Amino acid sequence: NAGVMQNPRHLVRRRGQEARLRCSPVKGHSHVYWYRQLPEEGLKFMVYLQKENIIDESGMPKERFSAEFPKEGPSILRIQQVVRGDSAAYFCASSPPQGLVTEAFFGQGTRLTVV
């Protein structure tokens, strides 16, 4: 019974490259959330997706960041033309379709380092 799976665990990109972060939710979960944790800070909400729909992207930077959750396959957080300030841990969480969660399980995170 696998939990939320994120890959890669660590990702190094040079400035200007693209970063793709993947999140496979818990089986049966159709809601996915992405959070970013800057060094020495708490997590900050970025985006909430359901299958093929972006529900809330109020926490997403306006440029270079995009997210998708296709009908088949994992959710992808894409960062174009990365800059040093994008270095952070990116966490994904998932939840079932009904109700509000009383437990929110996170993946192990992807640590992005921009050099």
Partner 1 sequence: AQKITQTQPGMFVQEKEAVTLDCTYDTSDQSYGLFWYKQPSSGEMIFLIYQGSYDEQNATEGRYSLNFQKARKSANLVISASQLGDSAMYFCAMRERQTGANNLFFGTGTRLTVIP
Residues binding partner 1 (CB under 8 A): 31, 33, 35, 41-45, 48, 55-56, 59, 89, 91, 93, 95, 100-109, 111
- Of the two residues 83 and 101, which places its CB atom closer to partner 1 in the complex? 101
Q: Smallest gap, in angstroms, from Cβ of residue 43 to partner 1? A: 5
Give the nearest distance from C-beta 36 to partner 1 in angstroms: 11
H or E element at residue 10: strand 10-13
Q: How far is CA 113 from CA 19, 79, 104, in A?
A: 10, 12, 26
Instruction: Work out how close the CB of 65 gets to partner 1 at its nearest, in angstroms, rounded to a whole number.
Output: 16
Alpha carbons 2 and 83: distance in angstroms, whole number: 33
CB of 102 to partner 1, least distance (A): 5
3-state secondary structure of 85: helix
Per DSSP, what are the bridge partners of residue 37?
43, 89
- Of 18 and 108, nearer to partner 1 (C-beta) is 108
